[in-house]
Amino acid sequence: MPIHQKPVIIATLAASLWAGAALAQEDLPTCGSFPAGAESYACTCNPGFAVGGVWGTHIYTTDSNICAAAQHAGAITADGGAVQVVAAPGQADYPGSTQNGITSQHWSAFDKSFMFVNPNAWFGAADTRPEGDVAACTSLVQSGEDRVTCACAKVSTRSGGVWGSGPYTADSDICAAAQHAGVIGLDGGVVTALRGPSVPAYKGSAANGVTSSDWQSFDSSLFFDLN
């Protein structure tokens, strides 16, 4: 997998995603507007529902139509389906494009954004295995993996390269990013890392004793499942 050509910096901030029991698709509401202040939103798009304004590519302004943006992003087709929408930082620029039968428009700076995670990574039972039954985390989500559940060790300090602030670049160190996100502390624990779509830029920040760095566009992103 691609590796950043830059110094390794102690890790980052992450997006807090779905906090609660996993939902079956039939239990989800029909998608409306992205809820103000929400970190994530699971909903269902009905067939033919993907009609409305969309601004951005892969990362969208929060006033974009969720279902139209989901079809544009490739999270659903025109037949609809369940989507998991996650909050993302505001961007300085939202490039428009045409893909998957949907045309999005260009917009300049906007204060809030959303993006999509592969819905196949979200539905079903949460992983409840004890820590001793879970393999230790490698540094990165490996090439070809969309979801990995692994155990981060107890340490006195945690180091590893992390880039971004909700989401991270997919080559960020899993355990360092998880600590920065508040998913674990220095005592470690089991985490579930998810691979999501790329965003135009990753802004660094500091949280929970870990500092991340800025990076430009990367081929995929890292999130954490809080189920």
79: tokens are: 């037949």
Nearest alpha carbon to residue 64 among 74, 52, 76: 52
Mean pLDDT lowest among 108-122, 142-156, 179-193, 197-211: 108-122
The residues, any chain, with a CB within 8 Å of residue 132's CB and separated by 6 or more, are: none
**pLDDT the model gives residue 118:** 53
Higher pLDDT, 24 or 1: 24
Report the residue count for the chain. 227
Q: CATH top-level class for 25-117?
A: mainly beta
What is the 3-state secondary structure of the chain? CCCCCCCCCCCCECCECCCCCCCCHHHCCECCCCCCCCCEEEEEECCCCCCCCCEEECEEECCCCHHHHHHHHCCCECCEEEEEEEEEEEECCECCCEECCEECECECCEEEEEEEECHHHCCCCCCCCCHHHCCECCCCCCCCCCEEEEEECCCCCCCCCCEEECCEECCCCHHHHHHHHCCCCCCCEEEEEEEECCCCEECCCEECCEECECEECCCCEEEECCC
Kindly indicate the confidence band of residue 1, based on its pLDDT and cuts at 50, 70 and 90: very low
9 neighbors 161 (Cβ within 8 angstroms): yes
Mean pLDDT of the chain: 77
Q: 161 falls in which pLDDT band (50, 70, 90)? A: very high
> Right CATH number for 131-224 from 3.90.220.20, 1.20.1420.20, 2.40.400.10, 2.170.130.20?
2.170.130.20
- Range of weakest confidence among 24-28, 82-86, 93-97, 195-199: 24-28
How far, in Å, CA of 179 to CA of 177, rounded?
A: 5
pLDDT in tens, 136-150: 988 777 777 777 889
pLDDT of residue 187: 92
pLDDT of amino acid 225: 64
Distance in angstroms (rounded) separating the CA atoms of residues 227 and 223: 12
pTM of the predicted model over 0.85: no
Tell whether the model's pLDDT for residue 2 goes beyond 80. Answer: no
- Are domains 25-117 and 131-224 of this chain identical in fold? yes
Is the pLDDT reported for residue 120 higher than 50?
no
Where along the chain do its domains lie?
Answer: 25-117, 131-224
- The pLDDT assigned to 156 comes to 92
What is the Cα 205 distance to its own chain's centre?
A: 16
